[in-house]
Structure formats: C-alpha cells, structure tokens
Amino acid sequence: MTLQVLLIDSYDSFTFNLVTLFRDLTVHPEITVVPSAHLTPAYVSSHLFPALLAKFDVIVIGPGPGTPLQEDSDMGGIPHVWRAIDKYYAGSYRWVPPVVFGVCLGFQWILLAYGHPVVRLPRPRHGLISVLDVTEEGKNDLFAGLDGKDIECVRYHSLHVQYDNDFAGNNDIVPLAWSRDENEEGQKVLMAARHKTRPYWAVQYHPESICSKYGAQMLENVFRLSEEHTRLRRQWINKVLEQDHLPLLKASILERQDVLETFLQGRQHRCKILHKWPHQSANRLETRDRQADIATTTLFQYIVDLPENVNISQFVTELCEQVFEFSGVFSLLESAAAPGSWSYMGFNEAIPHRFTYYIPDPFLTETSTLQPQVWTVDSIDDVWELLASVIDVNISQVVQVGCGPNNTDTRISFDQLKEIVRRSRESGLDELPSFYGGLVGYVSYEAGVVDGLNVPVDHESPAEVPDIDMTFYTRSIAVNHNSRRVFIHTFEEQNFVAIYRSWILRVAECIEMLPEVRRAKGRPAKERVGAAIAKFNDKKIPGDIRLPDKDEYLAKIDLAKEYLASGDSYELCVTDQTVVIEKGSLHDGSGDSNISFKEMRSDWAFYKQMKAMNPAPYSCFFRSKKSALIGMSPERFLRWDNNLGECELRPIKGTVKRTSKTTLEEATAKLKTPKEQAENLMIVDLIRHDVAQFCENVEVTQLMGIETYKNVYQLVSVIKGTNMRPGVTGADILRGTLPPGSMTGAPKKRSVEILQELEGHRRRGIYSGVSGYWDIMGHGDWSVVIRSAFSVGGQGTDVERIWKIGAGGAITALSDREEEWEEMKTKLEGTLRVFQNV
C-alpha cells in the first residue's frame, strides 16, 4: 500500500518544493496538498474528519507566513486539526495517530502546543545558511547516518522557539539539533526536535531549499523510524472497520470517503488548463468559427543570409524603420545584448488585430476592424481562453519561397516544420526561430496578482492602461544574431496568397537596400525611399519630472522591515514610480483610428536612445492606441516550448552599479555577500515551487551566476522545468507563476498583500508585469518589465502625455535603507536618462 501524505499549505511559496522532496524519496508517497484555510472548525469537528485521519499516514504541517501566536489569521485550520488529533488520540476510540512532521511554521506550532514560547529572533534569518549542531539523540534519530558531516540548512524565519521544559511544564519534546550561530544571535536556536513518545518530528529550517543539504536523508529517517508505527496503525484501522460496535466511526471512514475525495480533489497542483472558447450563451456575443476561417491557411517563409560583418543592432533598427513605411505600426522584441540571440518583429495590416482587457471589466475588446468587437467575460479565465482560441491557428502547409532550384517554391506540411524545429531545440541548437507569428504584448502586474494569486486589486485605483494588451501578428521577421540569418514569415487565408507572398518579397528587397547591408557588402549607400521616416530624431519634450520622495521611500523600507521581523514575509520588493510629463500635441491629423506618425516617431526615438545607453537581452518596443512600452529588461521571466514540454526562468536579484572604476572582481565580492545571495536564493526557491506545480522535474541549472551588462553587474539564476504535467501548456505556467516573484518577494501571496499597503494601493500597471510573445508553434518568451518606461494618456490629442518609470529593490532583514535608496536610483537612472532633454 502506497504511503499517503497530507501536506497542509499555509500559502507559502515553498510548499511544492516540499512536495518534490517527498516525492523523490524511496518510499514514493502519494501527496495531497490542502490549504490550511480549507480545514475549517466545522469540517474538523464533523464526522468527516475521522475519514481524513484514516486516509493519511502522515500529516505535514508546512511553512508559511505569520506567527503561531495568531491562530485565526495566520494558522488557518492547523490548530483545529492538531486539537482533533490530540482528542482522538486520548478519546474513547484510542486512535493510533498519524505521523506528524512540521516545517518552520509547523515546527513553531507543534512546540508551542507543548508549552514552549515562540518569540522574535534578535535578527531575522531569511535565506541565510547555518550549520546544524546535532545532539546525541539526533545522531541516532532524525540525522542518523550523517554523523561527521556539515549539515548546512537554509533558514527562513524571524521567530524562534525558546526551548524551556520548566516553562512548558513537561519534558515531552526532545531537542535533535541546534544552530551554530551563537555568536551572531547571542544563543543557540533550536532547529530540530521530536516528541518523546509520539511519532511527531519537526524542523525549524527548510530542508527543501536548493541550498539545504541532506534533506532527503533526513526525511528517509522519518519514514524509517515511523515504519512500525504506520504498520500498527493500519492494522488498527482495519480492525475498526471489522467491528460492528463502532458504527459511527466505521461510517465516517467508509461512507464519507466520497465526500472526502470531493473535498481533496484538484489540490495536488493548481493548473488552469487552457482550451478553445468553450461555450456560448445569451449574454455573450457569438464567437466566430475560427477554425472555419483559417482552414486553408498557409505559412510562407523566406530566408535571407546577411554579410558576416553586418552590425546586427544597426540592421534591426534600419529594418524596423524601413518596413514601417509600407506596413505600419510594429512591435519589436530585440536581443540588444547577450545572452539573448534573437530579435523578432511583428507587423500587421493597417488596422491591427488587438485584444485589450481592463480589470475588473466584464468584457474584452477585440479591434480588428473599424468597429471594435466586445466579448463578454465572466472572469479573467475567459480572457485567456479566448486568447488561446486565437492562437490555435490551423495551418495546412508551409511554402518556403524561393528555396528550390531556380528560386522555385518548395512545400512541406506544418507538422513537418514543427518536427524540424522540435529536433533542433532538442539537440540544443539555436538555429531556428521561436516566433513564426502569434500574439505579442504584455500582461500587467495587477493581472498577475488577480489571476496568479487570486488577490483582488483596489477598484478605487483605476487602470491607466489595459491590464492585458496583445496584438495578433500574421507577418513577422526573425533575426538570428549569431548566424546572421533573417527569417521572414506571413500567413493568412488562401485567397490572399498573392498579396502576402508579395509582402515577403518586398521585405527581402528592402533588406538588400538597407544602408547597413550595403556597407557590409562594400556598396555605397543609396538615398532611402520615404526619407521622412528616416529622420527619427531625438525629441526634446517640454514638461517636468516627478521623482520619488526619499523620505517616503525610506519610510516604506522601515515598515517593510517590520513586516519581515514579525514573520509576515521573508523578502519584500518595494517599488516607486517616477513620472515624466510630456506636454504639447503629437496629433498630426491622421485620424483617431490610427497611431499618428509623430507619436510613433517620438516613441521610437526614445527606444533608440534607451538601446544606445543601456542595451539589454530582452528589449521591447510595443505601441498601441492606449499606450507605448519601451524597455531594456535584463531579466527573462519565462520561456516555454510546448513541443518539448519544458520551460526556463532567469530571475535576477542582486545589483551592483558598473562604472569605469568597478572591476568584475570587486562586483563579485559585493554580490557574493550573504545579503545579496539571500535575495537571490529566496526567489530561486520561490520559482522552483511555482514551476513544480506544472512540471514533473525542476532543475537549477545556474545558481547565482554573475552577468555583466553595460551599466550594472547582476546576480542571475536559471531554473528549468521539464516534463510538463498532462494537459499543461506554457500559457498555464505563465498564468500560474505571475506576478514575477523577483518583483514581489516571498511568500508571494502575503508579500503582495503587504506591498499593496506599502505602496498605497496604487497600481504598478505594466511595470513589474511581463512582455513577450505567444507563438502559433507552441513557444513563448516573456521578460519582466523593468528598466522600462510606459506612457499613459494624451495619444492623438492636445493634452499632456505621461510616461511612468518604475524602480525598486528587494528589502530583506539585512538591507540598509540608504543603500536600498541608492540601488533604486541606480536602476532608475538607466531609464530616466532617455528623457534627459526634459
């Protein structure tokens, strides 16, 4: 019989790392995760609870924010479960209790229940590593087989247990290990303990952290030591089921199992599976039959090889400007610096096929004609389902233009192309694009808060820009920076083949005429057609800048540190916004239905300045009627490949300003301090937890590597998830991991709630959200919107337009308020310099 484990989740951001640790043990237990808030007093006191105790061999009280001293608000249903176990243990039925294992908050609760006080540490220990001082009892118990080894453990706690038998009035708890941090904390801190006679174990540290050692061996010892107890307990339960004089208990265990399964189902992982638009109703506009519309769609591909000495950055800029002249507004996702190696441009017809959604509106707007369509939505789930149906394009064939003898077209099936791309990815090559067309845009921070965490946002603070803004592109250009190969793509219905094929050839001709290409081929540059668009000059804008107030920012840091000390959070990413007011008209009489030439030119000039000053691997230029987004993000949030069933995240935590006097060695010394590494470690553990809900395997392929950018040095980790669970897509992972943990802190849900209070319930908007693409081939790549600026208001009118620039930093117990202010300014300056002419 498989060992059954119930893990009570207190909404921590490391819970599923525990699931992974338990799952990989030799006993291979079956694990069910239930939120502590679901275990209500009514449920625990009902006749259903015996069925719960009978079903599970082990109950794990997991970590979480808060304190065991506040039962109702922080502990959820844990106290009720604990008291029920004790009641049944001592009651007339003489229950043989399940094994209990506590971690962090669970450790504190168990020892508090036996009378040992829980108090604040002199200084919180968040993301910091200690070495265990194992007792003689521990060497033969929880840490058997580890004698003589340095057992390093990661700690996330600001409270600790004062072990005191006299105060407790009993000696039921046996210490198994202490910390060795006496010099720093003034006393040893209890790190592991067990009950003297019952099968209860608990640890204060986090054995599931990526930097904790021997966590699996320690848990193997738990199951080894409790094996006989579990065997006897199962015999007792079977005996109860055979006895007719215990009808109530027997009925609770047997007849209520169906109710119990209903209560527990769906909690093993929180996947929101996307599928086609599922239904129609009287209050919903009829959805068009998208499959019928695109049943004969063909994907056209044309490949151009650039000269070896071409400047790719300059080439991408010139290509965007030139194609804009005959294709209109575009989006650009550019690798302006390593480690990025691709740039993608999306183009469309004069009227873009755009989807916009504002929280909490009950509708999504689709703009693909002069008259926008409005789709009724019940929740943000419906928004994502509609987007999923849009991306589900049925391409029948791929025409490779001019790839055969005498420049003839060749044809393959779409499935053949997908298989070629899949094999290339599987072999580790980066030769083929990941974007062949699809959705490009952004998801705001608030959309992630509502969708990923189910945390409401203040409706009194309205959204200034859409919370989801994505454009569906049927024409795209992909540039490989390493091979210097350009891929031109377009797809549409069969009766438009001639038009779309001619667009591809026009882009190819345009490439040959670009000044950078002609220079690389040793040819003289020619006067460009449409010279007006070539004059993308820097724009001097009248207006002013409103910077964050230092005293207010420092006050937020102080309050954040109080939340860290109270146990509510381990890390809080405090942010603020700078406002740049651009006054004067940008309207050129082109009509309200289009983005004016002057608006586009102005925004593009800002982007080019930003790229010249602070190039980054995940740069973006996105322009809609509602807003403009220009960014030089160094941080990939999520890349996925549905065909391989894998994803990758690259969180950044730890920043040192790069100057002419700062060497890599000096930056490394600053970034290898406990404070900087703790910041990064907490987010790595958080992301491992997020991804583990959707992928069977999660691996940290780079832990706290140092990467060099033009203006900063960064501490970067890489987390890879493989073997997506059945039915899971990359879009599910995107939704389930938002908002980015590097922009919130940990535990994520409680940290977001605290940050809403600290930041006055003001919306962050696009800042701290993600931007990127969702491709028709099953790929996606999204970056965190940082080192960026976005505009609100004033498009196409005579009123002022406002640019917003967000910046901030992770606050930990080791943070220095003045240093955090300086770090925030360092991040802000890189973007603010774009507007230096204000």
Question: Among all residues, which ones are annotated catalytic?
Answer: 104, 206, 208
DSSP code, position 523: -
* DSSP characters over 427-450: TT---S-S-SSEEEEEE-HHHHHH
Cα 643 from Cα 624, distance rounded (Å) = 31
Q: Any idea which residue has 């065997």 for tokens?
A: 231
Residue 754 burial (C-beta neighbours within 10 Å; 0-12, 13-18, 19+) = buried
Cα-based distances in Å from 256 to 34, 46, 55, 250, 261: 18, 11, 11, 10, 9
Structure tokens at 157: 């706690």
Q: Are the C-beta atoms of residues 331 and 316 closer than 8 Å to each other?
A: no
Q: Residue 209's closest CA among 282, 340, 103? A: 103
Structure tokens at 101: 């294992």
Sort residue 483 into left (φ over 0), alpha (ψ -120 to 50) or beta: alpha
Cα-based distances in Å from 726 to 109, 241, 390, 781: 36, 36, 22, 21
Q: Are the C-beta atoms of residues 57 and 96 closer than 8 Å to each other?
A: no
Structure tokens at 350: 């004069």
Handedness of CA 480, 787, 739, 127 (dihedral sign): positive
Q: Are the C-beta atoms of residues 690 and 617 closer than 8 Å to each other?
A: no
* Three-class DSSP category at 803: strand
* DSSP characters over 550-608: HHHHHHHHHHHHHHHHTTS-SEEEEEEEEEEEE-S----SS-TTS--HHHHHHHHHHHH
The two beta strands, 58-61 and 99-103, are: parallel
Give the DSSP H/E element, type plus range, for residue 412. Answer: strand 410-413
* DSSP characters over 193-249: EEESSSSEEEESSBTTSTT--SHHHHHHHHHHHHHHHHHHHHHHHHHHHH-TT-HHH
Cα 211 from Cα 208, distance rounded (Å) = 8
Beta strands in 327-390 (DSSP E): 330-334, 342-347, 353-357, 363-367, 373-376
Chain-centroid distance, C-alpha 655: 20
Q: Are the C-beta atoms of residues 586 and 794 closer than 8 Å to each other?
A: yes
Cα 326 from Cα 345, distance rounded (Å) = 14
- Quick one: three-class SS letters along 7-49? EEECCCCCHHHHHHHHHCCCCCCEEEEEEHHHCCHHHHCCCCH
Q: In what order do the strands lie in the sheet with 200-203?
A: 30-35, 4-9, 58-61, 99-103, 200-203, 190-195, 173-179, 118-134, 152-161
